[in-house]
Structure 1
Amino acid sequence: MAGVITIALLDEIQDGFNRHDVDGILSHFVEECVWVMASGPTPPEGRVCHGKAEIGQVLSERYKQIPDMRWEDIRHWIVDDSKAISEWVVKGTPEGGEPFAYLGCDLWEFEGGKVTKKDTYWKIIR
């Protein structure tokens, strides 16, 4: 059903992230979406990206910097008709850097089956 949050929809979005398919990912987002990234310069949120164009640019740059970036051990929960949670382990090796594996989650908000907000968190072990 169109506009309904399902595990299959969340898997489809996550598959786009693992394929590095920026256009495919953004096809699930509303035009004026928001992505609150896991880190960034501005307290308390870190970095907040607004709109599909900015999010697409950030994702494209990230996939160039971390060409093997992938999400594994993915689990999803549907909270209600407008919210969901995804838990995963993100792995990759940045160009010229060390491999990483971080446990993280996304807090998703939807309207009409499209993402309005993605709020990302992950644990960095030092």
Structure 2
Amino acid sequence: MAMTAEMADGVMRRMGKAIFKADRALLEGALTNDAEWHFAIGEDAPDGRVRKGVDGFLEGIADNNALFESLRFEEIDYAVLGDERILMTYRVEGRHRGGDAFTQRGVEIITVRDGRVAKKDVFWKQTGKGGG
């Protein structure tokens, strides 16, 4: 069955609420048992930092809380890509713990299976020098 915009909206709202509340029961309802969260940066090259399952998502939330004093997502937009993916774009403002404030653009590719998130793959523009 093709994913509709309404279905995508429900998936995104459930996932967002579960992550921002760091609630195990909500995560269990929003994620597949084998769900993966691929962070924009991290030690699991080339995939960033990878956390798996509900426990992994809770660990990822704790990782973010340790890294960032604050994160605020603005200009959130998403669109359905085929039967099982959602493309989300946004601007994130935050502050590293004990460090500087930042503003970056982000993209996430959310893979959906049976109405729940199977993969959350995060890409952020990185600050610093470099080509492009």
Cα gap change, 1:43 to 1:9, in 2 (>3 Å): closer
Compute the TM-score of the two structures, normalised by the length of structure 2. Answer: 0.79
* Identity among equivalent pairs (%): 21
Aligned residue for 1:120? 122
Q: How many equivalent residue pairs?
A: 122
Aligned residue for 2:74? 72
1:83 matched to 2:85: yes
- Unmatched segments (≥5 aa) in structure 1: none
Cα gap change, 1:50 to 1:12, in 2 (>3 Å): closer
**Superposition map of 1:32-71 within 5 A:** 32-71=34-73
Secondary structure at the counterpart of residue 93 of structure 1: strand
The residue identity in structure 2 corresponding to 1:106 is: E
**Alpha-carbon shift at residue 95 of structure 1 (Å):** 1.8
The residue identity in structure 1 corresponding to 2:75 is: D
CA distance in 1, matches of 2:11, 2:76: 13
Cα gap change, 1:88 to 1:62, in 2 (>3 Å): same
Secondary structure at the counterpart of residue 73 of structure 2: strand
Tell me which structure has the larger Cα radius of gyration: 2
Match of 1:13 among 8, 12, 15: 15
**Alpha-carbon shift at residue 98 of structure 1 (Å):** 0.3
The CA RMSD over aligned residues, in Å, is 2.2
**Alpha-carbon shift at residue 15 of structure 1 (Å):** 5.0
Secondary structure at the counterpart of residue 43 of structure 1: coil
- Unmatched segments (≥5 aa) in structure 2: none
Aligned residue for 2:22? 22
The residue identity in structure 2 corresponding to 1:108 is: I
